[in-house]
Every structure is written in structure tokens, then in C-alpha cells.
Copies of this chain bind each other. A is one copy, B any other.
Amino acid sequence: MKSVDDVREAGGADRERAGAVAGAVPAGKHAGGRRPGETRTREAILDAARACFAERGFDATSMRRIAEAAEVDQSLVHHFYGTKENLFLQALEVPLKMPQALAAAAEGGREGVGERMVRAHLALWDDLSTRPALMTMVRSASVHRVAAARLRETATTILADALGNVVTGEDAVLRSNLIATQLIGLAMMRYIAVLEPLAAADTDTVVRYYGPALQAIVEG
């Protein structure tokens, strides 16, 4: 898969494809046709889509750009995923790691849970296997209904569930919301708006300062 950055204004400099020996496709005949051997194109397209959506959001990402990033014909994207909407949906699928990691962080009692949550959250965003989906979700949440719904769902189902044993008492759900609020804010500023010095700060420092802020809400 090509890097998303490479694609930009590409145009047409990359007509020869890997494995297509020069002359293998006789001039005048159709270049189409299934590639020999087993294939991983479907996954490549999804990866490319995730990367593109993560980097520019739903609207600014065209099917053509995704195809280019996956080094594949545009129709193939439609062939596998149908509509752009549906592809986006797939790209949005949050890895199972996420609820697990957050639930694990919530275990171990009330004490220090703020710091553990911040650390787990940062870990998910720094993990290359989870980051694109999260980035896609947050980046498009402001303009795409489905992404916004996914964000809400994540905030309630996943987070509130994980925190069920920890955030108790008056207005427990509201307070869970506020914790989600803090974590999403952190993602926005550190990874999307890239606010300095926050974006460059190392994990431990962020955990040290931000943890107590979450803790304040846990305590009520």
C-alpha cells in the first residue's frame, strides 16, 4: 500500500503494477482480469480507506483517493464495499482492543483510576493498529452522523460500562459523560489540533497532570 502522503497529486506516473511484467498485457487487449495467486486486496483497500479517512475526514476523502492509496482501480473499491457510506462504516469499526483496554484500566478500585484511564487512552491512540479507526471516528464525528453516533456509543457503552463499578453515587451517568468528555478533548487537542506543547509532551507528564482531573470527577 502506498503511503497516503504519496498520493496527493499523483496523476498517472504509476501505471506499471507489481507483478505485471512489461508486455504481459498485449497492447490493444483489455488489461483487466484477476491476478494470479492469493490476494489480500480487500484488506488493503480497507486499510487505505482507514488511513485516508483518518487523515482528512469523510467529506474530503474521495473514493478515487482511497483507490490510489491502495494501488487499485476505483471500481474495485465499489466492487468490494459498495457505497462510500458503507466503506466508511467498515473503516469505523473500532477494534476490540478498546473496550478491553479501558475495562482493564477501570479495574483495581477507585484509587488512581484517573491516571490509569488516561494512560490506557493514550496507549490506544499511540497504537498503530487502533489509532486510524479512532482518528476516523473523532475527526468525522463533527460532520458525519454515523461517526457521531459511534462516538456517543463509545462514550456510553464502552466507557460508562467500564466505569460502572468506579463512578457511583449521584449523577453517575452524567459524571461518566464528563470523563469521556475529558478523554475526547485530549484526543482532539493532542492528536488532531496538535496543540503545543501538549502534543509533544511525553505520556508520563500528561498522565501526571491530567489523571487527577479525571479523578476529581470520579470522586464527585
**A residues touching B (Cβ–Cβ < 8 Å)?**
56-57, 59-60, 138-143, 148, 151-152, 155-156, 171, 173-175, 177-178, 180-186, 188-190, 192-198, 201, 205-206, 209-210, 212-217, 220
Contact = CB atoms under 8 A, between A and B. Distances in A.
Contacts of A185: 181-186, 188
A137 to B, nearest CB: 10
Given A171-B205, A174-B198, 13 more contacts: A138-B142, A140-B143, A142-B143, A148-B194, A152-B193, A152-B195, A174-B205, A177-B197, A178-B213, A182-B182, A182-B185, A183-B185, A213-B217
Contacts of A173: 197
Contacts of A151: 193, 195
Copies of this chain, whole number: 2
